[in-house]
Amino acid sequence: MTTDQSLVLRTYADAARTAHATLTALDQLSGDGDFGDNLREGLDRVTAALDAHPDRPPYAVAASVFLDEVGGTSGPLIGLLFQELARAHEAHSDERDAWRAGTGEGLAAIQRVGEAEPGDRTMVDALVPARDALEAGSGPREVALAALEGAHATAALRARRGRASYVGQRAVGFPDPGALGVALLFWSRARARKE
Ligand code: ADP
Ligand code: MG
Ligand code: MG
């Protein structure tokens, strides 16, 4: 079984385009409304960069785009996740091992920089269940489901990090846009997988 890295990223770009209006509306409730644009435009730049540089390692391409060019709090944080996924795919030939190591290291990097804990209503709340499922040896679909459930569960949380922490209860009942956006990466991985 293999997963084509560039197909994962192209699937993620399609998902971000489809989810754009929802992600925008969610970030309007809790933040400044730019998360849908940040993710969609970042991933459109990634697909353009993949077309221009088909020989470069795809997750490393995604990392440099998100670290250097994508704005918002989420841009550099998602860049760190791609950076660790790129490293882990270099180090591990087994795809599950690469995702387990890359997600674990990516989550650690995001927490070092952003200092969010689980339950703070951020992308960490999608990454922790994804990391746990990967550590338990789960396959791509179960991992994606864990990430999406983690994102969904942020609807019950009051934000303690990021702009959403300024608006108090207003966004309670709706999920955190960043958690949902990051869960879509795991969904894209599951979708792009060739048996
Ligand atoms: P901004 O609020 O700067 O416009 P974005 O809209 O690009 O940032 O991203 C918002 C998302 O970033 C939030 O939904 C949340 O998931 C995530 N986020 C915010 N602060 C943190 C943090 N400290 N650690 C992890 N994720 C965070
Ligand atoms: Mg925003
Ligand atoms: Mg912003």
Task: Indicate which CATH number applies to the domain containing 104.
Answer: 1.25.40.340
The boundaries of the domain holding residue 150 are 5-192
Q: What was the pLDDT predicted at 192?
A: 95
Complex-level ipTM: 0.99
Among 43-52, 104-113, 186-195, where is mean pLDDT lowest? Answer: 186-195
Q: What was the pLDDT predicted at 165?
A: 81
Report the domain count for the chain. 1
Atom of ligand 1 nearest to the CA of 163: 2
Q: How many CB atoms lie within 10 A of CB 69?
A: 14
Q: Is 175 in the pocket of ligand 1 (CB under 6 A)?
A: no
Atom of ligand 1 nearest to the CA of 179: 16
How confident is the prediction for the chain on average, in pLDDT? 95
Q: How many CA atoms lie within 13 A of 102 on its CB side?
A: 27
Q: Is 32 in the pocket of ligand 1 (CB under 6 A)?
A: yes
**Predicted confidence (pLDDT) at residue 1 exceeds the cutoff of 70:** no
191 vs 55: CA distance, rounded Å = 23
Q: What was the pLDDT predicted at 36?
A: 98
Find out whether 47 and 10 touch, Cβ atoms under 8 Å.
yes
